[in-house]
Amino acid sequence: MARKFSESVQRFGRTLLLPIGVLAPIGMVLGISGALVQSYMIARFPALGNETFNTLLVSIRSIAGVIFDNIPLLFAMGVAYGMSLKDKGIAVFAAVIGYLTLIITMNIWLIMTGKLADPAIMTQVGQIRVLGIQTLNVSVTGGIITGLLASWATDKYYNLELPTAFAFFAGKKSVSIIMIGIMIVVGALLPFAWEVLVWALMKLSVVFLSPVGPFFTAGGERLFIPFGLHHIWNASFRFTEAGGSYVIDGQTFVGVVPALSEVLFKQGPSSEYWAMMPSLTRFMAQQQMLITLFLFPAIAFAIYRASRPENRAEVKSMLVTMVLTAMLGNVTEPLEFTFAFIAPLLYVVYAVVVGIGAVLLSFAEVGIGYIRGTIFDFTIFGLLHERTNWIFFVIIGLALAVVTYFIFYWSIIKFDIKTIGREETSNLKNTLIKEKRYGEIAQILIKSLGGKQNILNVDNCITRMRIDVAQAEQVDQELILASGCSAFFFPSTNHIHVVYGPKVEFVRNAVDDALRNE
C-alpha cells in the first residue's frame, strides 16, 4: 500500500511538467513582449514605439496572456493526461467537461447563497471570471482536483457496460457523463472546504512570507528535485494563498505568479506597485538564476578540478554542456544528478546554500523576476528593467560561487566522492546520445531492463526516463550505463529513473517504437 501510494505521488509530480512546460516558454514570450511595450523601454529604444511593431508586440502579449488566464484548465488537462493509465485522451476530454461543470456549479452556488459579488469588486472577495463565468477563485487547486478525478473516472469506467437500452452511453462515453455528476457534487461542496483550505494555507504563508521564507521555498525546491516532487512544492506558493494574497488596483491576486504577472507585465515600472517586485521575485526566477549562473559553474569547476587528469577532456566537455543547458534552458537535473545520489549529504548542503542565497537576495531587495532562470531572463528582467538591484545579485552570486566551489572541492577530495571523472573506469566516452543514435539506445535500454515482458510502463520528464518494471532483480545495471545515460536510480522498488538529459524525449520515442515493434 505504501509503495503504491509513493508511486502515485511520483506520477502526480511528473504530470505537472506538462502544463508547467507550456507556461515556461509562454512566460518567456509574455515577458519579452510585455517588457518591450513598457513606456520606459520605448523611451530608451524609440524604435519600439513604431505603431506597427508596437501593435504586434501588444497582440503577442495578449495571445500569451490568454494561456495564463486559463492556467487551472491547463492543470486539469495535464493532470488527467498524466495520471490516467487506461485512456489518456478520454481523461483529458473528461477533465475539460468536469472543469466547466465545476466552475458553473460554483457560480450557481454563489448565486443561490447571495454571495455573487459585483464584478467590479469580485477579486477582492475571492471570485474570478473564468471562460466568461464568474466563479469562486479556486485557482490551480480546482484544476488539479478535476484532473485527478477525471483520471480516476477514466480508469474505473472507460469499459463500463450498461443495459441494452442505454448501450449508446456505455464505455468511454460514460466517463464524461459520470464526471458531470461528480463535479456537480464537488462544486457544491468545495466552497465549504475551500474556506478551511484557505485558512490552512494562510497559516503556511506565515512561514513562506517571513523574512526567511525564501530559504524554505528555494532550498525546499532543490531537496524535492531528486524525487520529482518540486513542481508540487512550487505550485503551493506560486498559485495558492500559501504565497500570499496581493491587492493591486483594487483586485486581489492569489499566489505569487498572478501578482507578479500583473505588476511585471501590466503595471510596469512607472506604477506605485513596482515597489512590490522584490517581495514577489524573492520566490521566483532569481533563486534559479543564482543556481544556473553562479553555483553551477562553481560546482562544475570543482568536479573538473577533482577529476582524474586522464579523464579531464571528457569531463570538461560533459560539464560545459551541463552548465550551458542550465544557463540557456533552465534544466538543472543533469548536473545535480551527478552528485545527488552518490553524495546525498553534499546535495543537502547544496540546497542549504541555495536557500541562504535566496534569503540574501531578499534582504538586498533584488527584484529580478519571472519564472525561468536563464541568462536571457537575467538580461530581460534584470539588466533591462528598472530598479532591479541586479548589481547585488551579481555580488551575492559571485560570493556564493566561491564558497560553493571550496565546499564541493573539499568534500569530493576529503570523502573520495566518485563524481564524474574520478572513477577507475567511466562511461564518459559513450557517444550514443551525442551521435543521436536513439534506436540503439532504446534497444540497449530495453534489454537492460529485462526485456519487453519486464517493462510495465514507460514515461519521461524533462531529463529522465521513468520506467516501471515487474521485477527489479532482472535489471542489468551495467548494461544501463552502456545505453549512454549519465545516471540511474530506483526511487522505489520497481520504479527506475534513467537520466539522459534534454534529449530524453527522443529516447522515449525510440523506446516506444521499439516496444511496439517487438
Mean pLDDT over each residue of the chain, to the nearest integer: 84
**Per-residue pLDDT reduced to its tens digit, 96-140:** 999 999 999 999 999 999 988 888 777 666 778 888 899 988 877
- 462 in Cβ contact with 504 (< 8 Å): yes
Q: How far apart are CA 409 and CA 320, in angstroms?
A: 17
Q: Are 134 and 115 within 8 A, CB to CB?
A: no
Which pLDDT score is estimated for 140?
Answer: 77
The better pLDDT of the pair 5, 186 is held by: 186
| In the chain, % of residues over pLDDT 90 | 32
The Cα 179–Cα 177 span in angstroms is: 5
Quick one: what percent of the chain has pLDDT higher than 70? 88
Q: With 0-12 CB in 10 A as exposed, 13-18 as middle and 19+ as buried, what is 314?
A: middle
Q: What is the pLDDT of residues 23-38, one digit of tens each?
A: 656 766 776 777 677 6
Comparing CA positions, the residue from 347, 324, 399, 377 lying closest to residue 219 is 347
CB 94 within 8 Å of CB 158 = no
436: left (phi over 0), alpha (psi -120 to 50) or beta: left
b/e sequence 381-406, b meaning 16+ C-beta within 10 Å: bbebbeebbbebbeebbeebbeebbe
For residue 223, name the pLDDT band (cuts at 50, 70, 90): confident
- Distance between CA atoms of residues 185 and 179, nearest Å: 10
Residue 317's pLDDT band (boundaries 50, 70, 90)? confident
Top mean-pLDDT range of 126-130, 240-244, 343-347, 357-361? 357-361
CATH code linked to domain 438-517: 3.30.1360.60
Question: Given pLDDT bands bounded at 50, 70 and 90, which one contains residue 198?
Answer: low
- H or E, element range at 220: helix 213-224
Distance in angstroms (rounded) separating the CA atoms of residues 265 and 186: 34
Render pLDDT for 36-49 as a digit per residue (tens, 0 to 9). Answer: 776 656 777 788 88
pLDDT in tens, 321-350: 888 878 877 778 778 877 887 788 999 999
* 3-state SS class at 135: strand
pLDDT band at 150; cut points 50, 70, 90:
very high
In degrees rounded to 5, what are phi and psi of residue 500?
Answer: -120, -5
pLDDT in tens, 294-307: 999 999 999 999 98
Look at residues 488, 502, 503, 501 and name the one whose alpha carbon lies nearest to residue 449.
488
- Residue 447: pLDDT band (50, 70, 90) is very high
pLDDT confidence tier of residue 386, bands split at 50, 70 and 90: confident
Q: What is the length of the chain?
A: 518
Give residue-wise pLDDT tens across range 389-435.
Answer: 999 999 999 999 999 999 999 999 999 887 887 755 445 556 787 78
Cell numbers that stand for 251 in this block: 483586485
Helix (H, G, I), strand (E, B) or coil at 32: helix
477-517 confidence digits (pLDDT tens):
888 888 888 778 887 788 888 888 767 889 999 999 999 88
The yes-or-no verdict on residue 200 having pLDDT over 70 is no
Binning the chain into helix, strand and coil, the percentages to the nearest 5 are 70, 10, 25
Q: Is the pLDDT of residue 228 over 60?
A: no
Residue 205 vs residues 126, 143, 281: alpha-carbon distances, Å: 17, 21, 16
CB 277 within 8 A of CB 359: no
**pTM surpassing 0.85?**
no
- Please tell me the predicted confidence (pLDDT) of residue 24: 59
Q: Which residues of 488-508 are buried (b: 16+ CB within 10 A; e: fewer)?
A: beebbebbbbbbbbbebebbb
Residues 6+ apart with CB under 8 A from 443: 514
Tell me, what's the pLDDT at 425? 45
pLDDT value at position 271? 86
Domain definitions of the chain by residue range: 2-203, 213-274, 281-414, 438-517
